[in-house]
Amino acid sequence: PSAWTICLTPQGKQFNQEMALDLSSKSHLILLCGRYEGVDERVRGLFVDEEISIGDYVLTGGELAAMVIIDAVSRLLPGVLGSDRSAEEDSFFNSLLEHPQYTRPFNFQGSCVPEVLLSGNHSAISLWRRREALKRTLVRRPDLLPKANLSEEDKRLLEEILQESRTDKSGDGV
């Protein structure tokens, strides 16, 4: 009786990080995976609490959708990731995309890791990451920004990014 029952269907609400966070707070989940034509309407009416879709396309069954939801929800549970802060730095946390990632080697085919990331200056690294997350979101997914909880510093950084973009387009910039 305490389980939250989800029917996976292309007719449901589109799954997102906010829904994953909400589902991670539920004590028990049941995921119903229809096959071909879906789940009997009477089952939906009697037992289903929520209908979820993972996108605007159709699969032959709900098993892959269930795996997507299980992975997205479980990684938000305490102890699943190496650090409880790890999920807070991912894309879509606070409606922003994640900053760029770099690994070794320092120089790969002429493309180098940004110097600030090697500086050891944690406040400069944090500022760089935040600025890059804002920039990446602005360029790739500006639809997310209105939902983001932006600080005054974030707004200032976004204004800088926009100003640089205007300068670059006019030919006066870098």
Give the residue numbers annotated as catalytic, written as ranges: 10, 37, 75, 90
Instruction: Give one DSSP letter per residue of 73-105, joined into a string.
Output: HHTTSTTTSSSTTGGGGSTTGGG-PPPP---S-
CA dihedral angle for residue 130, residue 133, residue 134, residue 137, rounded to 10 degrees: -170
How far is the C-alpha of 30 from the C-alpha of 7, rounded, in Å?
A: 8
CB neighbours of residue 46 within 10 Å: 9
